[in-house]
């Protein structure tokens, strides 16, 4: 069958790479893709926002499975557009994608279906929000989290340990800094603990967790510096023990599924629960309605099962027929970024050493690259996700960094400590 992947990041490269290995798949297309993706898929020059053109392409080329990588087309209703035209697609319908598109919707869904999460209040006016924050700190809160409601491309969340910082974040939201995503503000209790990413497949009837993983959101080693889209990931996350996973399945995933059914939401795709493992058990920080980036790069490297078969069965509401198999070896993904990211950075530098890096056995997933005069150049903030497995976490770390060290361009930047928490747990 022919498949179409929508998106142009490292996550989409990993999805294309894994689909390409399926004996069921004769051809992979990716719209719009990037330089690295062109090695495993034919690139289609259609932007992710052009839902009509994507559906036309799928129809004309007899695409039997479409997978939308990023949240934007899902929140725009790509699944509804495709299904109306009888085109098979993996992902939630627009109404269900609101679980990521609106933090307020997600919070009330969690509260209604007893999914453990931080206490929160939402505000549409600045002064009551400021007063609320002052009262919280006045009664001993150790921190407050301010979230602009709506998609703010991973920004729009401030974890404030000081009152003034929280007040400032609220003022910023109401100043219009996040566009329409700032008209409503969610103010949350600050949770403390270790984070983990739990992704699960669901077709609305069955829910199957994928291998656990952990992202590294901060820019610099030791989790310092500003939040980013993710500087690296690894799977499995040892913080998610078997018993914790069972608790997450019961308190988060099963309740999620009950909510989807009761609300009659169409969800045939992947749900991503960002979890904080607190002293009082796992709590959901956020839902995403798509694969995580860069978690997917590490997770899919460990998947033994045929992804095309799994995605077709999920899209056709036959997930009960799926039995996922995994490689035991851990995997880690180190993100190589452009110097200056997440602020301004320069683009267009030639990337050298890609073939050498892959000759070590690592896989280099491209996130922000393009071809210029026959050369691969950086075009994004996060540029590559160098991913490798090993028989244990320390070997996986060694393998990934050995490949990273072979790659360079002007002003390369990457964290040197990806998977440090897993490594420390071994000691
Ligand atoms: P979100 O976009 O809601 O996932 O938030 C982005 C990041 O902010 C999360 O991955 C956490 O690191 C942090 N965060 C969000 N909500 C909270 C919370 N209630 N307490 C502590 N940290 C949080
Ligand atoms: N890695 C975080 C995300 O995909 O949202």
Residue 354: pLDDT over 80: yes
Confidence at residue 155, expressed as pLDDT on a 0 to 100 scale: 61
Q: Does residue 159 contact residue 142 with C-beta atoms inside 8 Å?
A: no
The residues, ordered by sequence, that sit 6+ positions from 300 with a Cβ below 8 Å of its Cβ are 14, 15, 17, 18, 307
**Average pLDDT for the chain:** 95
Question: Any idea what DSSP says for residue 191?
Answer: P
- Largest Cα–Cα distance of the chain, in whole Å? 62
Alpha carbons 87 and 324: distance in angstroms, whole number? 25
The model's pTM: 0.95
Per cent of the chain over pLDDT 70 is 97
Question: What are the residues facing 42 on neighbouring strands?
Answer: 29
Neighbours of 26 (CB within 10 A): 10
In tens, the pLDDT along 179-192 reads 665 578 999 999 99
Q: Using the mean position of ligand 2's atoms as its centre, give its distance from the Cα of residue 368 in Å.
A: 16
230 CB less than 6 Å from ligand 2?
A: yes
Q: Does residue 97 contact residue 75 with C-beta atoms inside 8 Å?
A: yes
Confidence at residue 178, expressed as pLDDT on a 0 to 100 scale: 66
In tens, the pLDDT along 218-247 reads 999 999 998 898 999 999 999 999 999 999
Q: Using the mean position of ligand 2's atoms as its centre, give its distance from the Cα of residue 110 in Å.
A: 19
Q: Which atom of ligand 1 is nearest to the CA of 190?
A: 20
Q: Using the mean position of ligand 2's atoms as its centre, give its distance from the Cα of residue 70 in Å.
A: 10
In tens, the pLDDT along 370-412 reads 999 999 999 999 999 999 999 999 999 999 999 999 999 999 9
Q: Does residue 290 contact residue 79 with C-beta atoms inside 8 Å?
A: no
Ranking 21-35, 131-145, 165-179, 296-310 by mean pLDDT, the lowest is: 165-179
The three-state secondary structure class of 359 is helix
Average pLDDT over residues 71-80: 98
**Nearest CA to 21 among 41, 49, 51, 46?**
41
In the chain the domains, ranked by start, together with CATH numbers, are 2-94 (3.40.50.20), 125-183 (3.30.1490), 194-321 (3.30.470.20), 331-425 (3.90.600.10)
């Amino acid at each position: 069958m022919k498949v179409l992947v929508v998106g142009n990041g490292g996550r989409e490269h990993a999805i294309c790479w894994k689909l390409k290995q399926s004996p069921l798949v004769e051809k992979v297309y990716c719209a719009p893709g990037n330089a690295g993706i062109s090695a495993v898929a034919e690139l289609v020059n259609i932007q992710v926002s052009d839902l009509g053109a994507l559906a036309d392409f799928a129809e004309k080329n007899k695409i039997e499975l479409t997978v939308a990588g990023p949240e934007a087309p899902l929140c725009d209703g790509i699944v509804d557009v495709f299904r109306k035209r009888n085109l098979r697609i993996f992902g939630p319908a627009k109404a269900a994608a609101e679980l990521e598109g609106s933090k307020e919707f997600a919070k009330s869904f969690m509260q209604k279906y007893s999914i453990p999460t931080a206490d929160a209040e939402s505000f549409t006016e600045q002064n009551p929000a400021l007063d609320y924050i002052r009262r919280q700190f006045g009664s001993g809160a150790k921190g407050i989290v301010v979230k602009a409601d709506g998609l703010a491309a991973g920004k729009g969340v401030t974890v404030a340990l000081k009152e003034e910082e929280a007040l400032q974040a609220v003022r910023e939201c109401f100043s219009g800094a996040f566009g329409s995503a700032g008209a409503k503000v969610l103010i949350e209790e600050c949770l403390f603990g270790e984070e983990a990413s739990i992704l699960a497949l669901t077709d609305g009837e069955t829910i199957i967790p994928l291998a656990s993983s952990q992202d590294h959101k901060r820019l610099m080693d030791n989790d310092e510096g500003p939040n980013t889209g993710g500087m690296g990931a690894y799977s499995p996350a040892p913080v998610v023990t078997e018993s914790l996973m069972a608790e997450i399945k019961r308190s988060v995933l099963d309740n999620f599924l009950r909510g989807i059914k009761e609300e009659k939401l169409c969800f045939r795709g992947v749900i991503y629960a960002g979890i904080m493992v607190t002293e009082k058990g796992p709590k959901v920080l956020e839902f995403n309605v798509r694969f995580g980036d860069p978690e997917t790069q590490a997770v899919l490297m460990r998947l033994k099962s045929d992804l095309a078969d799994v995605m077709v069965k999920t899209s056709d509401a036959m997930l009960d027929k799926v039995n996922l198999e995994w490689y035991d070896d851990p995997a880690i993904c180190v993100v190589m970024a452009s110097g200056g990211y997440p602020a301004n950075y320069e683009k267009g530098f030639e990337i050298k050493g890609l073939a050498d890096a892959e000759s070590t056995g690592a896989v280099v997933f491209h996130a922000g690259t393009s071809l210029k005069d026959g050369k691969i150049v950086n075009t994004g903030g996060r540029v590559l996700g160098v991913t490798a497995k090993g028989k244990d976490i320390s070997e996986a770390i060694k393998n990934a960094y050995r490949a990273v060290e072979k790659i360079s361009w002007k002003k390369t930047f990457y964290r040197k400590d990806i998977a440090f928490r897993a490594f420390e747990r071994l000691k």
